[in-house]
Structure 1
Amino acid sequence: MTTTLEAVAATTRTHPGLGAVLRWETRKLRAQYRAKAVLLGALLGPIPVVFIIHGQSRPPKDTLFGRFATENGFALALLVLGFASQWVLPLLTAIVAGDVFASEDQHGTWKTVLTRSTSRAQLFWAKALVASGFAVLVLAVLAASTIVSSLLVVGHQPLIGLSGQTVDPRSALELVAASWATTLPPMIGFTCLAILLSVWARNPAVGIAAPVVIGMVMQLVGALGGIEAVRPLLLTTPFESWHGLLTQPAFTGPLVQGVLVSAVWSLASLAVAFVLLRRRDITGG
């Protein structure tokens, strides 16, 4: 009986559950200077941007809410959102997600981790959950910093919506926060895409840079004419779904479609990445 209990305990220690692996991956991420730098940049980066835009003698009238950005904090926060969704958000999440698997190749730790600590499935989902959680955190920090700094520097006057309607400050704050929140599904999509590239390329540089380049290419393709059937399928299109929240009446069709498109991209990327990891030969390290 004692021998059996010892064997079970040894097996438990050798193959921890998903929760234990998740806690371990979280501790690893918290110890990374790269992740700390990203969070610090998300916290402090919007502040000089807000001051620079507010100090412009002429507002950027060629962008949504640009003409009101120098005199309305809500408009300025939405202006920054439009800029950040082009390449900043994919970059912020790819810095961690694009390295989360490739770092094991870089340090040659696959054999040690998989044969002594946990299964491939547990490690895969733990890393994917940690990377996704980091994406949620960095988006929340960036959004909060942008909104707070914009309101403190510029002010919280009533916002003029896209239909010309006047939105009171309280409702404007809710709409701006909701607008930033709508970028989470495509950001998770880019997180999963970065995970796929990290598994496939086994190179942190590719895992980090490739999602940003792909996002820029999608932005360019989406700006072309005559591709109305393709544009809704691009992962960058859901970044624009917040526009419908600022009209009167509001429309959420693009938002729902964006969530579905982002989910398809996320699930497809994770499925391919999981298959690649399961088939990988790790006997060499």
Structure 2
Amino acid sequence: MSSRNVATATPRAGSGTLQLFGNELSTQFRRRRTWAMLAALALIPILLGVAIRLVGGSSPGRGPAFLDQITGNGLFVSLAALTVAIPLFLPLTVSVASGDAIAGEASHGTLRYLLIAPAGRVRLLLVKYLAAVAFCLSATLTVIAIGALVGWILFPVGPVTLITGTQVSVGEGLLRLLAVGAYVSVSLCGLAAIGLFLSTLTTVPIGAMAATAILAVAAQIVGAIPQLDAVHPWLFTDRWLDFGDLLRSPIAWDSFAGNALLQGGYILVFGFAALTRFTTKDVLS
């Protein structure tokens, strides 16, 4: 192949990947299941905000983090809702999105046609994972956006008092919320890689979804046992709730970097495992 042909082939491959990714996103966000999961996540800040509005705030130190600060500033609805959603609800929805990635296509008999298209196994796997990451981001932003909206409607909104006691403007407070959303989205990327790998092992989507969700719960249980503290730093759930450093003045980025490094390790390990499995898998359906 001449250098000219190579030069023209590369953009076509890149545009083909972008087109495939666009098609995957379109398919994912046209599903009723996706919108049902996002709606369920949106209910968390709504129910939380309405409950606090009706019965009043909790005493300091009782209930989820930030719950006692909601009545003073509605922006804390988002943070309290995230704290509630991270241990179970967000991992559950991400497990569904990632566990269905390959197994769902196989169960519907469309996987072979996607590979004949030709999408290529490596490119298809990459696109499926990126779509799962996009869902991680949209799920987290749903909780944050609805929480901020509910808080703005039901409670006073003003300068945000950080955990260090410093007050910042509403605008900076919203930027901090977005930074926390980025932190949580990164936290879920490791779980999405695990779900993608499990999805390559079966043609039964519910099996991959359930296994991914169970692993997320099991990792958190292990992380809560003091006798197993030697393995805690290696758990993909270990830093899920460490976004408080983004609410300090100045911001301490060490937790964000450490979490990104941890999730990156899981992405590499399980991404490679998924790639090895999928590229050698005999696709019969």
TM band (smaller chain) = 0.7 to 0.9
Per the alignment, residue 4 of structure 1 pairs with none
Shift of 1:24: 3.0
Per the alignment, residue 22 of structure 2 pairs with 23
Aligned partner letter, 2:196: I
1:39 paired to 2:67? no
Aligned partner letter, 1:73: G
Aligned partner letter, 1:94: S
Cα-to-partner distance string for 1:52-99 (whole Å, 9 max, x where unaligned)? 233234516323223223333133322111111111221222222211
Per the alignment, residue 186 of structure 1 pairs with 187
RMSD: 2.5
Per the alignment, residue 272 of structure 1 pairs with 273
Aligned partner letter, 2:36: A
Kept in 2: contact 1:17–1:122 (CA 8 A): no
C-alpha separation in 2, matches of 1:119 and 1:134: 23
C-alpha separation in 2, matches of 1:226 and 1:254: 23
1:258 paired to 2:259? yes
Aligned partner letter, 1:107: H
Q: Give the percent of matched residue pairs that are identical in Structure 1 and Structure 2.
A: 23
Kept in 2: contact 1:99–1:198 (CA 8 A): yes
| Partner SS state of residue 155, structure 1 | coil
Shift of 1:168: 4.4
Kept in 2: contact 1:231–1:237 (CA 8 A): yes
C-alpha separation in 2, matches of 1:111 and 1:262: 31
Aligned partner letter, 1:220: I
Describe the shift of the 1:25–1:175 C-alpha distance in structure 2 as closer, same or farther (beyond 3 A): closer
C-alpha separation in 2, matches of 1:247 and 1:130: 32
Kept in 1: contact 2:200–2:278 (CA 8 A): yes
Kept in 2: contact 1:54–1:71 (CA 8 A): no
Bigger mean CA deviation after superposition, 144-153 or 226-235: 226-235
Map 1:27-176 to 2 at 5 A: 27-43=26-42, 45-57=44-56, 59=58, 61-62=61-62, 63-176=64-177
Shift of 1:259: 0.7
Describe the shift of the 1:176–1:112 C-alpha distance in structure 2 as closer, same or farther (beyond 3 A): closer
Bigger mean CA deviation after superposition, 155-164 or 120-129: 155-164
Quick check: which has more Rg, 1 or 2? Answer: 1
Describe the shift of the 1:200–1:56 C-alpha distance in structure 2 as closer, same or farther (beyond 3 A): farther
Shift of 1:234: 1.5
Kept in 1: contact 2:166–2:249 (CA 8 A): yes
C-alpha separation in 2, matches of 1:268 and 1:95: 20
C-alpha separation in 2, matches of 1:109 and 1:77: 39
Bigger mean CA deviation after superposition, 168-177 or 262-271: 168-177
What are structure 1's unaligned runs of at least 5 residues?
Answer: 1-11
Describe the shift of the 1:38–1:251 C-alpha distance in structure 2 as closer, same or farther (beyond 3 A): same
Shift of 1:102: 0.9
What is the total number of aligned residue pairs between the two structures? 270
Kept in 2: contact 1:185–1:259 (CA 8 A): yes
Kept in 2: contact 1:201–1:207 (CA 8 A): yes
Shift of 1:166: 4.1
Using structure 1 for the length normalisation, give the TM-score: 0.84
C-alpha separation in 2, matches of 1:146 and 1:139: 11
Map 1:185-264 to 2 at 5 A: 185-264=186-265
Shift of 1:273: 0.8
